[in-house]
């Protein structure tokens, strides 16, 4: 993989988009590397994943405009489908995914962050969907996930007016969970990832499934789904060990993902 680096730290995976000279802009090669990195994740060992960008200027500054400038409609459709497929795979990973947004997250970068479960931002982060100013629409899920995250009105303002927002406003509207000085961002992302990884992996994954699937259902169907995922946890070794320890007023041992 030329443009993506992957590192494993105990139960936490760190995926870095490494195209710093181009502000980590996305093209077909970067998307292919992202897909390859996802293929290589050890789902048994990795209990939380962090996605970030190389350097201190950009998470992902957008898709590669130079590459898009000469695309035909058919090529544009294929590029959009490629990006959407990769981002949907990230969204559907069984483990939680944290976006550590270390600078510009514009266009495809904003859309990549939206495919993650949790977004943490550096103070210099900027979010936006500038596509309408370039004669196109968001193509990697921005019209759908942004509205679901910040509300329809704010999403339409950002998309129609190409209105970028800084980290403090992103926090205010619920686009990000927290904002940190850039020097602290990865440390804070690791703290959160390790805290997530310290809980029962099967239970955490069932929680993710319940939230993500439930948001696409009517409330009655979602409420019916929850007990099924709840029940599945009772057959696990982690549940038996943790509840026995609680009842016996002792600390439980490490979760074994079984």
Which of 7, 20, 123, 131 is flagged as catalytic?
A: 131
Taking only the tens place, the pLDDT of each residue in 86-142 is: 999 999 999 999 999 999 999 999 999 999 999 999 999 999 999 999 999 999 999
Q: Please compute the mean of the pLDDT values over residues 195-220 and round it to a whole number.
A: 96
Q: What pLDDT was estimated at residue 64?
A: 86
Q: Is 1's pLDDT higher than 80? A: no
Q: How far apart are the C-alpha atoms of 84 and 67, rounded to whole Å? A: 17
Active site residue 194: no
Other residues' Cβ atoms within 10 Å of the Cβ of residue 174: 12
Residues, the chain, total?
258
Contact predicate 162/130, CB 8 Å: yes
**H or E stretch covering 88:** helix 73-91
Q: Please compute the mean of the pLDDT values over residues 230-249 and round it to a whole number.
A: 94
Give the global pTM. Answer: 0.96
Mean pLDDT rounded to a whole number for the chain: 96
Per-residue pLDDT band at 147 (split at 50, 70, 90): very high
Active site residue 131: yes
Taking only the tens place, the pLDDT of each residue in 22-80 is: 999 999 999 999 999 999 999 999 999 999 999 999 999 998 898 899 999 999 999 99
**In degrees rounded to 5, what are phi and psi of residue 46?**
-90, 115
Contact predicate 176/150, CB 8 Å: no
Q: Domains, the chain, ranges and CATH? A: 4-197 (3.90.226.10), 201-247 (1.10.12.10)
Other residues' Cβ atoms within 10 Å of the Cβ of residue 62: 27
Which of 44, 75, 111, 123 is flagged as catalytic?
A: 111
Q: Please compute the mean of the pLDDT values over residues 187-209 and round it to a whole number.
A: 97
Per-residue pLDDT band at 186 (split at 50, 70, 90): very high
């Amino acid at each position: 993989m030329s443009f993506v680096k992957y590192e494993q730290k105990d139960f936490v995976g760190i995926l870095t988009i490494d195209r710093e000279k181009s502000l980590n802009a996305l093209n077909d090669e970067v998307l292919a590397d992202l897909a390859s990195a996802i293929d290589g994740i050890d789902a048994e060992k990795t209990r939380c994943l962090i996605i970030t960008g190389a350097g201190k200027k950009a998470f992902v500054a957008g898709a590669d405009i130079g590459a898009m400038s000469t695309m035909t409609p058919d090529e544009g459709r294929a590029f959009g489908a490629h990006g959407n497929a990769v981002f949907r795979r990230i969204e559907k990973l069984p483990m939680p995914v944290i976006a550590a947004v270390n600078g510009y997250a514009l266009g495809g970068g904003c859309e990549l962050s939206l495919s993650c479960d949790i977004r943490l931002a550096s103070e210099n982060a900027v979010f936006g969907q500038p596509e309408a100013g370039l004669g196109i629409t968001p193509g990697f899920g921005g019209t759908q996930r942004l509205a679901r995250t910040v509300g329809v009105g704010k999403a339409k303002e950002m998309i129609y007016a190409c209105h970028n927002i800084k980290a403090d406003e992103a926090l205010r509207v619920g686009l990000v969970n927290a904002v940190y000085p850039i020097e602290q961002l990865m440390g804070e992302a690791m703290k959160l990832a390790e805290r997530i990884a310290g809980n029962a992996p099967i239970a955490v994954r069932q929680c993710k499934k319940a939230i993500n699937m439930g948001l696409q259902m009517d409330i009655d169907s979602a409420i019916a789904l929850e007990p099924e995922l709840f029940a599945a946890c009772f057959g696990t070794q982690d549940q038996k060990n943790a509840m026995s320890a609680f009842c016996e007023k002792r600390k439980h041992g490490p979760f074994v993902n079984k």
